[in-house]
Structure 1
Amino acid sequence: MKYGRYITHSALITQSYDMTSHSSEVRLKALSLLRSGSRNADVARALNVPLGTVSYWLHVDRSKRGACPGPHNPRCPRCDGRPLDEAAYSYLLALYLGDGHIIQYSQHRVPSLMIACGDVWPGLMNECEAAVRAVFPDNSVCRVRRTGCHNVKVYSKHLWCLFPQHGAGKKHDRPIVLEPWQQRIVDTHPWKFIRGLVHSDGCRITNWTTRMVGGQKKRYEYPRYFFTNKSDDIRKLCSDTLTKVGVEWTTLARGSDPFNISVAKRPSVALMDIHIGPKY
Structure 2
Amino acid sequence: MEFRGATTRQKALDLIASGVANAEVARRLGVPVGTVGYWLHMDRSKRGECPGPHRPSCPRYDGRELDEAAYSYLLGLYLGDGHIIQYSQHRVPSLMIACGDTWPGLMDACHAAMQAVFPDNSVCRVRRTGCHNVKVYSKHLWCMFPQHGPGRKHERSIALEPWQQRIVDIHPWEFLRGLVHSDGCRITNWATRLVRGERKRYEYTRYFFTNKSDDIRKLCSDTLDKVGVEWKVTRRGKDPFNISVARKASVALMDTHIGPKY
Tell me whether the two structures share a fold, i.e. TM-score over 0.5: yes
Aligned mates of 1:144, 1:157 — CA distance in 2 = 20
User: Does the 8 Å contact 1:113/1:153 carry over to 2?
Assistant: yes
Counterpart for residue 19 of structure 2: 40
Q: Deviations over 1:160-180 (max 9, x none)?
A: 000000000000000001000
Counterpart for residue 120 of structure 1: 102
Counterpart for residue 217 of structure 1: 199
The letter of the residue matching 2:82 is: G
- Local SS of the residue matching 2:42: helix
Aligned 1:103-114 pairs, distance under 5 A: 103-114=85-96
Deviation, structure 1 residue 211: 2.0
Counterpart for residue 167 of structure 2: 185
Q: Deviations over 1:61-101 (max 9, x none)?
A: 32124422487311110121100000000000010000000
User: Does the 8 Å contact 2:2/2:8 carry over to 1?
Assistant: no
- Local SS of the residue matching 1:73: coil
The letter of the residue matching 1:223 is: T
> Are residue 230 (structure 1) and residue 212 (structure 2) matched?
yes
User: Does the 8 Å contact 1:252/1:262 carry over to 2?
Assistant: yes
* TM-score using structure 1 length: 0.82
Aligned mates of 2:201, 2:36 — CA distance in 1 = 64
Deviation, structure 1 residue 143: 0.2
User: Does the 8 Å contact 2:9/2:39 carry over to 1?
Assistant: no
Aligned 1:43-62 pairs, distance under 5 A: 59-62=41-44
> Are residue 68 (structure 1) and residue 53 (structure 2) matched?
no
In structure 2, relative to structure 1, the CA distance for the partners of 1:77 and 1:21 (3 Å cut) is closer
In structure 2, relative to structure 1, the CA distance for the partners of 1:64 and 1:273 (3 Å cut) is same
In structure 2, relative to structure 1, the CA distance for the partners of 1:58 and 1:205 (3 Å cut) is closer
Deviation, structure 1 residue 234: 0.2
User: Does the 8 Å contact 2:77/2:178 carry over to 1?
Assistant: yes
Counterpart for residue 239 of structure 2: 257
Q: Deviations over 1:182-230 (max 9, x none)?
A: 0000000000000000000000111111123244332100001110000
> Are residue 98 (structure 1) and residue 94 (structure 2) matched?
no
Which runs of no fewer than 5 residues in structure 2 stay unpaired?
22-27
Aligned mates of 2:51, 2:118 — CA distance in 1 = 16
Aligned mates of 2:53, 2:236 — CA distance in 1 = 49
Q: Deviations over 1:80-133 (max 9, x none)?
A: 110000000000001000000000001111100000000001000000000000
User: Does the 8 Å contact 1:71/1:138 carry over to 2?
Assistant: no
Larger radius of gyration: 1
* TM-score using structure 2 length: 0.87
- Aligned-residue sequence identity (percent) comes to 76
Counterpart for residue 19 of structure 1: 8
RMSD: 2.7
User: Does the 8 Å contact 1:40/1:55 carry over to 2?
Assistant: no
- Local SS of the residue matching 2:54: coil
How many residue pairs align between the two structures? 251
